[in-house]
Homo-oligomer: A and B are copies of this chain.
Amino acid sequence: MLPFNKPYFTGNETKYIESAVSSGKISGNGDYTKKCQSFFEQNFGIKKCLLTTSCTDALEMAAILIDIKPGDEVIMPSYTFVSTANAFVLRGATIVFADSRKDHPNIDENAIEGLITSKTKAIVPVHYAGVACEMDTIMDIAKRHNLYVIEDAAQAIDSYYTGKDNVKRALGSIGHLAAFSFHETKNIISGEGGLLAINDEKFINRAEIIWEKGTNRSSFFRGEVDKYGWVDIGSSFLPSEIIAAFLWAQLENLEQIQMVRKNHWESYFDKLATWARENRIELPQLPDYASNNAHMFYLICDSLEQRTKLLDYLKQHDILAVFHYISLHESPFYDKLHKGGVLPETDRFTDTLVRLPLFYELNPNVVIDVLLKAAF
């Protein structure tokens, strides 16, 4: 069976882990952690980065940093992973779900403003498949209503948004805060892992404290205070150096990994174009303002029935393709709490989106050849 995903290893991961081990420092915030954080700061124009044990944890840090309190409302798409919402629910927030765009699972930027109330505290755009949300509009809404923007950039490493000012900005560098994932299904991996990106400088000091279990340990080691202690809420958000060492081996190879993934993506896109049109299947659409980081290649079927047929057909040919999120506003946990009305586009993507295998060692022609032989 051709898997949907296969983690790629550059070959240096265990070498760097051994080096961390032989340095005698394998708890968090060591040399590899600092190297990974600097890489993001320098390559993606982010003011300050902090590695976390998951993207979920980075989102939880963001929720703490913007002081989410019970009753606060947070606007986000319904077509996303549970952690996008749970991170804020854990702090007491009410989630207000917006619909997706017609052309893309990303949040419909024009659906946001109507959902804002006096309780709204933040907007959480999710860059689905690594494709940028319409950030100019979202940042403008946030500014006018005095809201925070937290980018869920879980899938969005090395992807960009070009706004009206014609400046190309990395995703994760635009909102006040952002969260990345290095889960094994992502382009760059560390098994489980994440990173908090801080673009609004006012959050930097407190973020370090929250990251270090609510202590001012970082200040202490910089000599800014003469003893360290409990100064705030917080958690153990920082990963082991073992994880950071693994991640560093991946980041060193970002360019190569991205090149290979983009080639696979382009193969899918070019070779499936005619077949897709003939079968009433949509290929991914990239808005002009968005780049492609080849995180995912998906198809939008014309119905749930067509998708089921397509998934079954691929399975019969030993290819594992998979659907994706189930609308959060219809989840067992949130369906009664949801007050945002019907979200038809979200439901459509829940029913019709299918993800094709995409990983470094893939030969996409294996999948393409099988698809081209069939009509749906």
Enumerate chain A interface residues (CB-CB to B < 8 A).
3, 6-7, 9, 13-14, 17-18, 21, 24-28, 53-57, 60, 70, 81-83, 85-87, 89-90, 183-185, 189-193, 213-215, 227, 229-236, 238-243, 246, 326, 328, 331-334
Contact = CB atoms under 8 A, between A and B. Distances in A.
Contact of A233 (B6, B86, B241): B86
List of 6 A-B pairs having minimum Cβ-Cβ separation, nearest first: A191-B240, A56-B236, A26-B191, A230-B331, A54-B236, A53-B53
A169 B232 CA distance: 36
Given A21-B9, A184-B25, A235-B56, A230 B14 contact: no
Contact of A90 (B70, B192, B235): B235
Contacts of A334: 230
Contact of A243 (B55, B85, B243, B333): B243
Contacts of A328: 230
Given A53-B236, A190-B240, A190-B242, 12 more contacts: A3-B24, A28-B191, A53-B57, A54-B235, A57-B235, A83-B236, A86-B230, A90-B233, A229-B326, A230-B328, A231-B332, A232-B333
Given A17-B14, A21-B9, A326-B227, A213 B26 contact: no
Contacts of A238: 192
B57 A184 contact: no
Given A227-B326, A235-B86, A192 B53 contact: yes
Contacts of A231: 331-333
A214 B333 contact: yes
Nearest to A244: B191
Tell which of A54, A213, A241 has the most Cβ of chain B within 10 Å.
A54
Tell which of A85, A326, A333 has the most Cβ of chain B within 10 Å.
A333
B82 A214 contact: yes
Query: What DSSP secondary structure best describes chain A's contact surface?
Result: loop
A185 B26 CA distance: 10
Contacts of A241: 191
A82 B215 contact: yes
Contacts of A239: 53, 191-192
Nearest to A239: B192
Contacts of A25: 7, 184
Nearest to A23: B7
A229 B27 contact: no
A184 B26 contact: yes
Given A6-B24, A192-B28, A240-B243, A60 B235 contact: yes
Nearest to A234: B86
A296 to B, nearest CB: 17
Nearest to A323: B227
A26 B236 contact: no
Contacts of A333: 214, 229-233
Contacts of A9: 21
Nearest to A235: B56
A254 to B, nearest CB: 18
B242 A26 contact: no
Nearest to A5: B24
B242 A246 contact: yes
A242 B54 CA distance: 14
A191 B24 CA distance: 10
Nearest to A30: B191
Contacts of A87: 235
A94 to B, nearest CB: 13
A91 B190 CA distance: 29
